[in-house]
A = this chain, B = another copy of it.
Amino acid sequence: MKRGDTGKPHGTGPAPRSVLLRDVGESGLIELLRRKHAGGARRGELPIGDDAAVVRVPGGRAVLSTDLLIEGTHFSLAYFRPEEVGGRALSANLSDLAAMGAEPVCYLVALAAPPGISVATVDAIFRGMADAAGPSGIRLMGGDTCRGERLILCLTVVGAVRGGRPVSRAGARPGDLLYVTGSPGWSRLGLALLRGGRPSRPSGWRREAMRAHLAPTARWREGRAAARSGAVAAMIDVSDGILADLSHLLERDGLGAVLAEESFPVSRSFRAASAALGVDPLDAFLGGGEDYELLMAVHPARRAIFLRAARAFPSGATRIGAVTKTPGVRVLRADGSWIEGAALPSGFDHFPPTKRRTR
């Protein structure tokens, strides 16, 4: 329909109008989601449309995670395209499964939407999720829809543990080596770039930064291979930033860590991008969240086994430091100085306690 592309009325008919949720009703929406986006049910499974979904979980243990995303708080349709909203949401949840070393199985989506939103927007959100699911094998198997003043998405993902054990956040020991997949920090650079306006045809570092922020990749292959290798003692995904998530990894066991800047996977392109955006590259690397890379603790005696497994990681893995018995994280700068405590970049609290906040 070339004519509609101009966005202006032509000829005798009224201007083309988006199909709105109120035009199709709840049953119309559910039918659309089922037809276009539901995963195929395998033998003995039941997808969208019954009281509950039924999925096979060979091996006998299910891994579960849920995530609530509210328009205006977690995303804005003025800022993200609907495909990106869906893709980021799915990737963030798939990343939680990856961080357990689980096999992706299925996801459920509870959706609240204003009746005046276009069906195309909702459709694009679900398409973004399916695209981000990619070859991971995770399939939409159920959900819920209702009316809301603003868009709300609650994603629940289900994984299975096969041929190995789930890798939790606990289990690191002093002396363990700390590895991170990919190149954390690009998402923070993407955010800084987008704050100055979305480039229409980005290339080079702009493209890499935008992609990291708008279409992050969950490391499910890496997480699964890490769990199967048996060499990873503890694992977490980097959603709040390396320092914040490293703290989560260490706090159960009352441990600390030393990180060495010289070993950080920070490329020349990353430094150039940071400089162009006026962002401290160390801040972006250590404090930037939403990269969905994986952080792993590996016992030195199992290093060779781990490195063999890591050869199959599409993202690679880099050793950035080691676990210490002394609590707290210290970073050895390339110039030989140390930073620690309040001088380190910090994470994000949805309900910052008024008393504890000092700045």
Contacts and interface: CB of A to CB of B under 8 A. Distances in A.
B100 A50 contact: yes
Nearest to A111: B68
Most chain B CB within a 10 A radius of its CB, from A27, A99, A148: A148
Given A115-B351, A154-B110, A353-B25, A144 B66 contact: yes
Interface string A108-139: 11111101000000000000000000000000
B147 A351 contact: yes
B54 A57 contact: no
A74 interface: yes
A21 interface: yes
A65 B52 contact: yes
A272 interface: no
A158 B68 contact: no
B144 A67 contact: yes
Given A23-B354, A354-B23, A61 B51 contact: no
Most chain B CB within a 10 A radius of its CB, from A24, A99, A156: A156
A177 interface: no
A305 interface: no
A209 to B, nearest CB: 25
Given A25-B349, A110-B68, A168 B62 contact: no
A29 interface: yes
A46 interface: yes
Nearest to A150: B149
Nearest to A69: B146
Contacts of A28: 351, 353
Nearest to A168: B50
A268 interface: no
B65 A147 contact: no
Q: How many copies does the complex hold?
A: 2
Most chain B CB within a 10 A radius of its CB, from A26, A56, A60: A60
A82 interface: no
A129 to B, nearest CB: 14
A354 B354 CA distance: 47
Interface in A13-48: 21-29, 44-46
Interface in A309-350: 349-350
B57 A53 contact: no
B351 A51 contact: no
A260 B97 CA distance: 51
Given A66-B142, A154-B154, A350-B146, A100 B25 contact: no
Given A67-B144, A68-B154, 8 more contacts: A51-B65, A51-B99, A52-B64, A54-B161, A55-B62, A59-B60, A66-B108, A73-B147
16 contacts: A25-B356, A51-B65, A51-B169, A54-B63, A64-B108, A64-B141, A64-B142, A64-B158, A66-B108, A66-B110, A66-B143, A66-B156, A70-B112, A110-B154, A146-B350, A158-B158
The 3 nearest A-B residue pairs measured at CB: A25-B353, A154-B154, A52-B65
